[in-house]
Amino acid sequence: MITITDNQYQLANQFMGTSNFLEGPAGSGKSTIASAFLLNLLNQGVPGDQILILVPQRSLGLVYQNTIAQLDTFNNGQPSILTMGGIAQRAIRLFWPYVLEQINFKKDIPPTFLTMETSQYYLAKVSEPFFEKGYFETIHADRQRIYSQVLDNLNKAAVNGFDYLTIADRLKNAWAKEPEHIIAYQEAQDVAEAFRTYCIENNLLDFSLQFEIFANELWSIDHCKRTLIDNYSHLIFDNSEETVPVAHQIINEWLPNFKSSLIVYDQDAGFRAFLGADPISAYSLKTKCQQHFVVEGSWTNSETIQKIIPLYSAALKYEPIQIVEPEVLNFIQFHHNMYYPRMIDMVTDQVASLIKDDNIPPNEIAVLAPFVSDALRFQIQSRLENKGIDLISHRPSRSLREEPATHVMLTWAKIAHPDLKIKPNKYDIRTSFMFSIQGLDPLRADLMTQVLFSPNKKFVLNDLDATKMEMQNRFTFAAGAQYETIRQWLLEYIKFPVDLDIFLARFFGEVLSQPGFGYHDNYQAASIIANLVESVQKFRKVTTFTQQDDPLVLTNEYLNMIENGTIAASYLEAWQAPVEDAVYLAPAHTFLMQNRPVQYQFWLDIGSQGWWQRLMQPLTQPYVLSKNWTEGMKWTDIQEFKTNQENLTRLVTGLLRRCKNQVYMYTAGYNERGEEEKGYLLQAVQRLLRYKHQLLEQETNV
């Protein structure tokens, strides 16, 4: 439940009928004021559907969703909470005939909007001949990473408003001395161009193309622009600093047309720079606004934290540290351990003590690290589980591919489609038996696999009757009977195969969810399988044009895509524990983007370079591919160092502003891989500790 003070309401009242720019640090109540403005608008009878709430990513619209959820009436229609990408997609759907006039898409088929996954799927197809020609031999990266960088470059060009044909030149010209792998930029360019051509030939719209069509084509057509403008009369644009330049440009033109508007700007932020966010161009919107407001102070931080923020900032910038009371420095608590798992023990013990001894709600605790490896996540999760504490993470611990239920279903799919010649191995079979036949233990499942699985046959499951009675007795006759039911069902199915999603739904519904089978009354598995079916359906929708009527083509493509990892990254959200009861574990950057203050933060392995270093990728560079990059500039270590220092300062400030009580910091002698690291965050903390030491010494001497 959001609480709004009188002062905040009064401030929000001033926004009516004019354009406003509201800035302030994180935690100063900006989004709350914006919510007050939203309520004001609705209270004054503005129809809800005339209000546009623009956010950089969906999760940042949550605060408004909650506000809206509290209301009884919206004066005809709900306010729209959208990202600029969402607006682009809507516009393209609406004005498709106009798009066809501008771009050489096929006239007779509708547009297909690609997701990240399906873009990668098509890009993989397009780039195959390039790999065969020996492309990308000068860099060390696996194909998945190459795909994501090629797409990333296209997106960067689109959101920053430069021609995608210039990507490689920009990247090449930024080097002061040519590195050996410079040729790879041109190779990435060739692939990107081939992909764009393929998309246009087949009416496929990836994110970059959607954005470009909207910004370059539709927005310049009067009729289209007018329709959009007429749709909304009030704007709330939150976290404008996390949004991309082209969005700023559009808002810049759109702004005079709103009856009232509020642009919210978070100082010291811009954490999505690697995704193209541009705080500088966001700030330029200020000059377009009639009224400017600054909010200061913090609703989140204690006084101590507010005092400590500038100290960190000074330590990171190598500036003199201003004198404060030594007790403020007590805030800096750090624990050192030689070994990484021991560090995890200490973190989880401290978390448990806060929850159990001090009654701190689990959702007031965030455990943060520069990267969260699967192993780290699992270690924390299992330790907390033992203490009866739930943990949620920025993503669940398993991808769709790794979920046992998915695995089992896809194994059955392989067996059910012997013509595809994708054979499961004996472990897949054993696992599938174990999960599919109720009460079957791993040993008996293994026995069954040994006698009933023939990998060399076309249909790999043997007839139960051919098995000796003694063996049937060992794995139990009951299990044997269930096996035979499954086998018979599959043999029937093979005669008339259908699309993969239909197979999955039918096999689950008619067999595995029935009494005596493994997924009877198992709602969790049912929900996972429902997700799997949905994933196949989505895939089917975007790929229908490439297939003939043969359902095997879809099954084959989907299974291959799963096997080679293209959709490994899809994670399910349905079974995440509710945020209310759980400790949150995430990479520090992800936590910042959640914009959710907590009482206690745990910073893990502060010696890691990951706190400081940006994500480096051989085919892309976020700063060179940004709007602020001018031709002729060179990117050398001076810029690299400066940017990393600024980013670290921003990160630390951002984290501290989202902390209400205390930060616990941890260092490990050896990191996860057994290496020693002494990164810049650790150095800055040392500087502060040394300063504290000096202050204490001075005090003792006095």
Partner 1 sequence: MFKPRPRQQEVINYPGGKMGVSAVPGSGKTQTLSYLAAKILASSHIKDDQEVLIVTLVNSAVNNFSQRIGSFMQSFGLLPNVGYRVRTLHGVAHDIVRERPDLVGLDTQFQIIDERESNQILNAAVDSWMKQNPELIREWSSEADQNRNDPNFYSGWQRSISSIAANFIRQAKDLQASPNDISLRLQEMKYQHPLINFGITIYQDYQRALQYRSAVDFDDLIRFALQAIHIDPDYLARLRYRWPYILEDESQDSSKLQEEIIRNISGPDGNWVRVGDPNQAIYETFTTASPEFLKAFLAEPDVIEKALPNSGRSSASIISLANELIRWCIEDHPVEAVRNALTPPYILPTPPGDPQPNPIDRPDMIFFYDKKLSADKEISTIVSSLKKWLPNNQDKTVAVLVPRNERGAKIVEQLQHHQLPYLEMLQTSLPTRQTAAILSAALQFLGNPTNTNHLINLYDLFDRQMNLTNQKLRKIIVQLLRSCTYLEQYLYPLPDQDWLSSLPQESIVEFDKVIEALIHFRSTLSLWQKATELPINQLLITIGQDIFTKQSELALTHKLALMLEQANHNHPDWMLLQFADELELIAQNRRKMFGFVEEDNGFDPEAHKGKVVITTYHKSKGLEWDRVYLLSINNYDFPSALPGDEFMSEKYFYKNPINLEAETLAKLKALINQDIEGLFMEEGYATQQSRYEYAAERIRLLYVGITRAKQELVLTWNTGNTHFKRQIPLSASIPYKALQAFWEETHEPA
Site for partner 1 in 184-203 (CB under 8 A): 184
Per DSSP, 287 falls in state: G
The beta-carbon contacts of 91-99 under 8 Å, at least 24 apart in sequence, are 91/214, 91/218, 91/224, 91/228, 92/205, 92/210, 92/213, 92/214, 92/218, 94/224, 94/227, 95/218, 95/221, 95/224, 95/227, 98/217, 98/218, 98/221, 98/223, 98/224, 99/213, 99/217, 99/218
Residue in this structure with the two tokens 């067999």, named with its chain if needed = 511
Question: For residue 493, how many other CB atoms are within 10 A of its CB?
Answer: 19
Q: Least distance from C-beta 374 to partner 1, angstroms?
A: 6
* Nearest to partner 1 of 37, 185 (CB atom): 185
Say if CB 298 and CB 253 are below 8 A apart.
no
Lookup: tokens for 461: 């499951």
CA atoms within 13 A on the CB side of 544: 10
Residue of the chain from 25, 79, 161, 618 that contacts partner 1 (CB under 8 A): 618
Whether residue 443 contacts residue 471, with contact meaning beta carbons closer than 8 Å, is answered with no
CA distance 267 to 285: 14
- Under rule CB under 8 A, which residues in 425-444 are in contact with partner 1? 425, 427, 431, 441-444
Residues between 534 and 563 with contacts to partner 1, criterion CB under 8 A: 563
DSSP code, position 258: S
Comparing CB distances to partner 1, the nearer of 142 and 521 is 142
What is the closest distance, in whole angstroms, from the C-beta atom of residue 390 to partner 1 in the complex? 18
CB 394 within 8 A of CB 586: yes
By CB under 8 A, residue 646 contacts partner 1: no
Smallest CA-to-CA distance from 40 within 62, 20, 60, 61 is with 20
103 — phi, psi (to 5°)? Answer: -125, 145
CB of 570 to partner 1, least distance (A): 16
Q: Give the shortest CB-461-to-partner 1 separation in angstroms.
A: 19
Residue 179 engages partner 1 in binding (rule: CB under 8 A): yes
Are residues 150 and 590 in contact, defined by beta-carbon separation less than 8 angstroms?
no
Contacting residue, 197, 373, 488, 544, with partner 1 by CB under 8 A? 373
Measured distance CA(639)–CA(126) in Å, rounded: 35
Site for partner 1 in 321-340 (CB under 8 A): 338-340
**Token duo for residue 99:** 């798009």
Q: Cβ 674 to partner 1, closest distance in Å?
A: 5
| Min dist. Cβ of residue 543 to partner 1 (A) | 23
CB nearer to partner 1: pick between 138 and 537: 138
Distance, in Å, from the CA atom of 254 to the CA atom of 229, rounded to the nearest integer, reads: 7
Count other Cβ atoms within 10 Å, centred on residue 531: 20
385 binds partner 1 (CB under 8 A): no
252 by Cβ neighbours in 10 Å (0-12 / 13-18 / 19+) ranks as: middle
* Segment interacting with partner 1, rule: CB under 8 A, options 71-79, 158-166, 198-206, 372-380: 372-380
Q: Is 470 exposed, middle or buried (0-12, 13-18, 19+ CB in 10 A)?
A: exposed
Chain positions 464 to 503 lying near partner 1, rule: CB under 8 A, are 474-476
Specify the residue, 82 or 648, whose C-beta has the smaller distance to partner 1. 648
| Min separation Cβ 345 and partner 1, Å | 9
**Near partner 1 by CB under 8 A: residue from 2, 109, 294, 375:** 375
Q: Which of residues 84 and 344 has its CB atom nearest to partner 1 in the complex?
A: 344
Nearest residue (CB) to partner 1, 136 versus 629: 136
Position 96 contacts partner 1 (CB under 8 A)? no
* Residue whose tokens read 């799919």: 413
The CA distance from 91 to 113, in Å, is 12
Q: Which of 49, 169, 484, 672 binds partner 1 (CB under 8 A)?
A: 672
User: What residue type is assigned to position 257 of the chain?
Assistant: N
Candidates 87-95, 169-177, 350-358, 453-461: pick the segment binding partner 1 (CB under 8 A): 169-177
Interface with partner 1 (CB under 8 A), residue from 616, 630, 631, 632: 616
Please give the residues from 127 up to 146 whose contact with partner 1 meets the rule CB under 8 A.
Answer: 136-143, 145
Is residue 402 at the binding interface for partner 1, with CB under 8 A as the rule?
yes
Q: Alpha-carbon distance 17 to 608, whole Å? A: 50
Tell which one of 446, 460, 587, 590 touches partner 1 (CB under 8 A). Answer: 446
Amino acid at residue number 677: E
The distance of closest approach from Cβ of residue 693 to partner 1 in the complex, given in angstroms and rounded to an integer, is: 9
**By CB under 8 A, is residue 638 in contact with partner 1?**
yes
Number of residues binding to partner 1, judged by CB under 8 A: 71
Q: Which of residues 552-611 bind partner 1 (CB under 8 A)?
A: 563-565, 609
- DSSP H or E stretch at residue 235: strand 234-237
* Range in contact with partner 1 (rule: CB under 8 A) among 326-334, 416-424, 495-503, 686-694: 686-694
Rounded least distance, CB 404 to partner 1, Å: 4
Task: Show contacts with partner 1 in window 28-57 (CB under 8 A).
Answer: none
With CB under 8 A as the contact rule, the residue among 84, 191, 447, 512 that binds partner 1 is 447
For partner 1, the closer of residues 161 and 396 by Cβ is 396
Give the residue with the Cβ less far from partner 1, 390 or 672: 672
Is 694 a binder of partner 1 (CB under 8 A)?
no
Among 322, 382, 454, 524, binds partner 1 (CB under 8 A): 382
Which residues 6+ apart lie within 8 Å of 340 measured at CB?
Answer: 605, 668, 670, 671, 672
Kindly tell me which of 346 and 498 has the beta carbon lying closer to partner 1.
Answer: 346
> What is the smallest separation between the CB atom of 67 and partner 1, expressed in angstroms?
39
DSSP, residue by residue, 388-400:
T-EEEESS-SS-G
Q: In the bound complex, what is the minimum distance in angstroms from residue 642's beta carbon to partner 1?
A: 10
Q: Which segment (26-34, 83-91, 265-273, 631-639) binds partner 1 by CB under 8 A? A: 631-639
Q: Which of 641, 694, 697, 698 binds partner 1 (CB under 8 A)?
A: 641
Min CB(423)–partner 1 separation in Å: 11
In the set 320, 637, 701, 702, which binds partner 1 (CB under 8 A)? 637
Compute CA distances 233 → 69, 254, 259, whole Å.
21, 10, 5
Q: Given the complex with partner 1, which of 290 and 564 has the nearer CB atom?
A: 564
Handedness of CA 518, 519, 525, 528 (dihedral sign): positive
Give the span between the Cα atoms of 308 and 304, in whole angstroms. 6
